[in-house]
Amino acid sequence: MLASTDYCSFEIAAFAAAHRGQTISFPGSIGAMAPHEGASTRYDILINAGDFSEASAPGPAFQFRDVNTTNDLHWVGSVSDTISVRADLSVTAKVDRYEEKSCLFLLEPVATAAR
């Protein structure tokens, strides 16, 4: 699933439904960040599978929605003063749901580490 080139595939929706509430772990990277509904300390963070690349973003379009980057990501190990697009991460998260309209695979952070 992490190597898929179709982030809107039926297989991703089926995986999310079958594993809802379960914890998954994978190497990921931040592909985009935006303030959540105009907030100044809460963000929607798009997580891609694997190392950051400007040329490709394989796998599902994972998202941490409405998170504070200081507390909600549950950092493990050394933490940078800032978090931004291009950061490579080790992600451990609980499967929330897959939104078919947006093709976003929503996750709830359990543990996040810089890599």
What is the spatial distance between Cα 20 and Cα 106, in angstroms, rounded to a whole number? 10
Q: Residue 44 — pLDDT band, cuts 50, 70, 90?
A: very high
> What letter represents residue 92's amino acid?
T
Residue 83 domain boundaries: 10-114
CB-based contacts of 81, cutoff 8 Å, min separation 6? none
What letters, b where the CB count within 10 A reaches 16 and e where it falls short, cover 51-66? Answer: eeeeeebebbbbbbbe
Q: Does residue 58 contact residue 2 with C-beta atoms inside 8 Å?
A: yes
Residue 1 lies in a domain: no
Residue 17 lies in a domain: yes
Question: So what's the pLDDT on residue 80?
Answer: 81
Question: So what's the pLDDT on residue 58?
Answer: 84
Q: Residue 1 — pLDDT band, cuts 50, 70, 90?
A: confident
Residue 93 lies in a domain: yes
If we measure between CA atoms, which residue out of 57, 25, 30 comes closest to residue 44? 30
Residue 28 lies in a domain: yes
Higher pLDDT, 103 or 3: 103
pLDDT for residue 92 is more than 90? yes
* 49-88 pLDDT per residue, tens: 999 998 988 889 999 999 999 999 999 998 888 899 999 9
Q: What's this model's pTM, rounded to 2 decimal places?
A: 0.94
What is the spatial distance between Cα 112 and Cα 108, in angstroms, rounded to a whole number? 11
Residue 3 lies in a domain: no
CATH number of the domain to which 108 belongs: 2.40.50
Q: Is 104 exposed, middle or buried (0-12, 13-18, 19+ CB in 10 A)?
A: buried
Residue 75 lies in a domain: yes
Averaged pLDDT of the chain: 94
Question: So what's the pLDDT on residue 41?
Answer: 94
Residue 51 lies in a domain: yes
Residue 42 lies in a domain: yes
Instruction: Tell me how many domains the chain contains.
Output: 1
